[in-house]
Structure 1
């Protein structure tokens, strides 16, 4: 395993590495043309199956999971969910061999929440902030997120603006909370702030496609015989104002930010129902970068 890979899996989480969030950037407004559609009408095209993303991401539950390399069996990353309120869950990522972090190193935490009456009147999973906590210390360096633009589409349809969808622009929409059986996409332009909560540390662009997989096999699973279960597949691309595209790629606008065109995904993962993150995971498409969830338990 390369140092880059460990850094991305252990320090940074699957969505975006926390190491990216610390440089000073500038706010740049993005102008993107999209079809003049109503978010209510777009979201009504989706078919919901009665499940929620909490069933998959184990939101609201105290769970932990260990991910391994599918080829070598080497432990690569560990995660834990910790409810801190009726609608908020902290997500910790760390090294399974030095859980949750090596001595003196920050503990990577994400603040997830469930927000109601967002775009289309639907409930969304929201990503509010990232933190660097320290063991045996009250120090918590919090990097809040701010959305400057958010859009949704169904299948390969046109993008529709949901920035003013009712849940504000603090944090960012991450997924519809109710599970759909047809695919949809989300993309967000935004800022990640420094610890002072005022200074922009990094501008970012993130895009995903979410699709439902009724029977996803995980050959690494050892907790019980249920290796085939429903899963949510997430394909992602990420850009920030210091490191550029990592992972994925796309075209750039005249303002120096992605314009949302020609986006190519650079990684995907499946979230297993009742099991959690990393049921299956692929980085850069290489067989050496195929990972899966070996075990999940309570803590």
Structure 2
């Protein structure tokens, strides 16, 4: 018994030492799922036809813009600009209608995957859109701030709540055997009613597939229920 106990303890010690000396496995990051740093693209389909298309266009090693639009009238005027800063991907704003719209926050909070235990962590600057390193647990982000139309100075108030879920198996009607992260989001603003309270404009889930990209699945709940699924991805 004693000899067996010593052998077991010795094996355990070797295992512990191996664990201490082995390199830690690097966490996955948002870039692996979004393909933020690549000239990547994809189409998502609904009702048997292409419902939308997206492309990432890297502008530098830390900055990229994503366009969303109708593949029948490509390229669109619309593109969102994201900047990587430390372990965050920040939303700077978007271009559309021949001008640029700057997004700046007045308050941001972070909490657990059910939007509990919220703590304020920013009161100015770009919006913290998503963590770059993907944590093992889900987390919630809440942002309030303003959108400024650069051509006119017009200001719109907004609120944006997101819940990011960790990697999990996923599939859609066209592509199976994938791994996805999920974004649930609810967007509120007072566009068209300056000075009035913000109201809900959009609520949806979006799944991003590792090595594929955006819009693997979209399930919109508001303003009307709608679903689409990615059918093709490519580099351009």
Question: Under a length normalisation based on structure 2, what TM-score does the superposition of the two structures give?
Answer: 0.80
Counting only pairs closer than 5 Å after superposition, residues 19-168 of structure 1 correspond to structure 2 as 50-69=27-46, 72-101=47-76, 107-116=77-86, 123-132=87-96, 140-156=98-114, 157-163=116-122
1 or 2, which has the higher strand percentage?
Answer: 2
Q: Is 1:256 paired with 2:197?
A: yes
Question: Under a length normalisation based on structure 1, what TM-score does the superposition of the two structures give?
Answer: 0.64
Contact 1:91 1:109 in 2 (8 A): yes
Aligned to 1:231: 180
**206, 211, 217: which is aligned to 1:269?**
206
* Post-superposition offset of 1:285: 7.8
CA RMSD of the aligned region, Å? 2.5
Contiguous gaps of at least 5 residues in structure 1: 1-47, 102-106, 117-122, 134-139, 222-226, 245-254
Contiguous gaps of at least 5 residues in structure 2: 1-24
Tell me how far apart the structure 1 counterparts of residues 192 and 167 of structure 2 sit (CA, whole Å).
32
The Cα offsets for residues 126-185 of structure 1, whole Å up to 9 and x where unpaired, read as 11011027xxxxxx5111111100000023331100105xxxx33211011001221100
Contact 2:101 2:148 in 1 (8 A): yes
Q: Work out which of the two has the higher radius of gyration on C-alpha atoms and give 1 or 2.
A: 2
* Post-superposition offset of 1:49: 6.3
Contact 2:203 2:223 in 1 (8 A): no
Counting only pairs closer than 5 Å after superposition, residues 166-245 of structure 1 correspond to structure 2 as 169-196=124-151, 199-221=153-175, 227-242=176-191
Tell me how far apart the structure 2 counterparts of residues 257 and 235 of structure 1 sit (CA, whole Å).
19
Contact 1:218 1:228 in 2 (8 A): no
Tell me how far apart the structure 2 counterparts of residues 291 and 204 of structure 1 sit (CA, whole Å).
26
Tell me how far apart the structure 2 counterparts of residues 242 and 285 of structure 1 sit (CA, whole Å).
17
* Post-superposition offset of 1:290: 1.5
Contact 1:81 1:90 in 2 (8 A): yes
